[in-house]
Amino acid sequence: MKKSTFIWVAAFIASITYVSTAADSRPNVLFIVCDDLNTHVSTSDYSAIETPAFEKLAAEGMTFKRAYCQYPVCGPSRASFLSGLYPESTGIVNNATDIRNERPGTVSMPQAFKEQGYWTAATGKIFHNSKTDPGDLAWNEKAFFMNDEMPLEKQARKEFEAKHGSIEDRKNRSLWKEFLLGYAPQTMNQTPGWGPSGLTDEQHRDGKNARQAQDWIESKAYGDKPFFMAVGIHKPHVPFLAPQKYFDMYPKDGLKYIKSPSNFWDTVPKSSISKRFEGFGFEHSIENDDLRREYMQAYHACISFIDAQIGSILESLKTNGLWENTIVVLTSDHGYQLGEHFLWGKVTLFEICNRVPMLIRVPGQTKAASTSQGLVELVDLFPTLAELCDVNAPDDVQGRSLAPMLRDPNAAGKDSVYTVVTRGKNLGKAIRTDRWRYSKWEDGEELYDLRNDLEEHHNLARSPEYSSTLKTMRRHLERMEKRAAMAAR
């Protein structure tokens, strides 16, 4: 039998393993995943920012204080948690690779739900992009939006076209891009850009995502089936654009941050550096207070903006009588560096880049305002939702269901959590236990005591007094490497 035929037959068999009925009483799922959101939210004990929607969900559900991604880049992280597999098993360690090519036949979370009787829908960014999205295989409905044209963009376009002609002309494309770079930071796209957008909430694509989700809820687009609705929030991914009112919430002179030791990079492996800071306009190991405040203000404005959009979706569940039969998951694909260790962006193994907010509410099971200090991973979400919704997850899923922890805040989490990132042809690997974070690179090691050094300013890997701890962490890493190794295809 040809491989393509085998995959089709397997998918067909899976599709008939559950027969939906009008009396299907399984819970709905609202799965909200933000893009590049670190723990700068009030539910992660970051008091400098206002996130009332996060707080309202936390007040009725469970907050996981120590949740970690498996790869701090969008594509690999999403491929991991949507399949329930570690990156070494998905084969996805960059944004350009498609899991369907690397691991044919892998069943994603929304595909499993669709094949087993759920109405599935997605708006915004769930899979990394349209090329890696499985389309009809996973979704009954799919929507994707763009921002409206900003006033600044419109003005720039008018000025440019008055001199050079249409921006659509092939001869003008590179010139138009160069023109925008010198026009205003909001128009710089992925270089990155930042600043007030001049748009309303509704003109931003995250505002449109929220309203699309509300429309599906209010119109009962799911019919008589339970739904699995995924909302991919684009912000606070660059460019850091939001309506002016959210910038006004965070005056730059009121922003506070902890400075890193000026000699920090003398003490750690050079492989642990990500040079993305150059794209943000910073120099190696040099603090630029004014520019840092510009970006922090914009990043925080984006967070308050998306919090408002998320709040509107949650309110729709309540006003439409769905709150008591809908599981809500709110998380991020990975964290983000905002100048910590003089770094910006992602692709590092530091705590601020690997830890994510995670809030889950399961009607009738989670205790209101409960918190868990247990170690958990994004790879755990697929088996968790599958168990809670009576959906069969694939046998090779590597995550562990969080259902026992959701029912009992004191239930133990994992002994360790695992994150990797590429450096050339090699992987940097990090293991996090209750107290320690250990990382192994081609050119050295890191060891941090997170009980006494949460900012990770003091690498203890070279200190003789911690040699025993170092050996223990190496063994932890070896066990995790085996667990994350290629799952049977």
Q: How far is CA 202 from CA 194, 212, 312, 426, in A?
A: 19, 11, 12, 43
Q: What is the pLDDT of residues 28-79, one digit of tens each?
A: 999 999 999 999 999 999 999 999 999 999 999 999 999 999 999 999 999 9
The domains of the chain are located at 27-147+198-406, 149-196
Q: Which residue numbers in the chain have pLDDT < 50?
A: 1-21
Distance CA 468, CA 471 (A): 5
pLDDT of residue 20: 46
Question: Could you check whether the bond before residue 383 is cis, i.e. omega within 30 degrees of 0?
Answer: no
Tell me which DSSP letter residue 465 carries. G
pLDDT of residue 6: 37
pLDDT of residue 250: 98
pLDDT of residue 54: 98
Query: Per the CATH hierarchy, to which homologous superfamily does domain 27-147+198-406 belong?
Result: Alkaline Phosphatase, subunit A (3.40.720.10)
Backbone angles phi, psi at 368, to 5 degrees: -55, 140
Distance CA 146, CA 154 (A): 15
pLDDT of residue 487: 75
Residue whose entry in the numeric block shows the structure tokens 């960059």: 94
CB-based contacts of 219: which residues, under 8 Å, 6+ apart? none
